[in-house]
Amino acid sequence: MASLNKALLIGNLGKDPELRYTPDGMAILKFSLATSEYFKTQSGEKTERTIWHNIVVFGKMGQTLANYLNKGKQVFVEGKINNRSYDDKEGNKKYITEIVANNIVLLGAKGGGGSPEASDADYGQISNDYGYAGQNANNSYGAGNLNSGMSNQPGEDDDIPF
């Protein structure tokens, strides 16, 4: 039986992204993304709940995105959910859940968050076909693509009526 590990998020960056490099030179971009949901309590009061997500982008795609992302920027993120653990400075085991992004669409105005008045020129999509941790099948890293507008992904049908 097949399985699926996919996350789709639209939210705003909580702070400027952090770009680092592994000893072998691979770029790793990390940032936090806030998504909000609204609901009414039992007393009828409208409440907002914000959930923070850790996003990781590998390779050339991460390098490219570092030039376009900043605090408050609204983005669409598509990726895989990954759980990992590490030891902190005191030797305590810590656990973290991350979204390893393979497609990111920049939303809203160029300088910041989303805007209903934004034109098509303000949107861009950066994606790759990487597997887990930004690697493709032969363990090499490729460049991400920056396209104007929402372009079709491989395998999508142009005849879809919506």
The domain segmentation of the chain, as residue ranges, is 22-148
Predicted local distance difference test score (pLDDT) of residue 105? 95
The CATH T-level fold of domain 22-148 is OB fold (Dihydrolipoamide Acetyltransferase, E2P) (2.40.50)
- Please, are residues 43 and 32 in contact by the beta-carbon 8 Å criterion? no
CA 10 to chain centre: 9
- Please, are residues 11 and 75 in contact by the beta-carbon 8 Å criterion? yes
Write out pLDDT tens, residues 67-118. 999 999 999 999 999 999 999 999 999 999 999 999 999 997 655 544 333 3
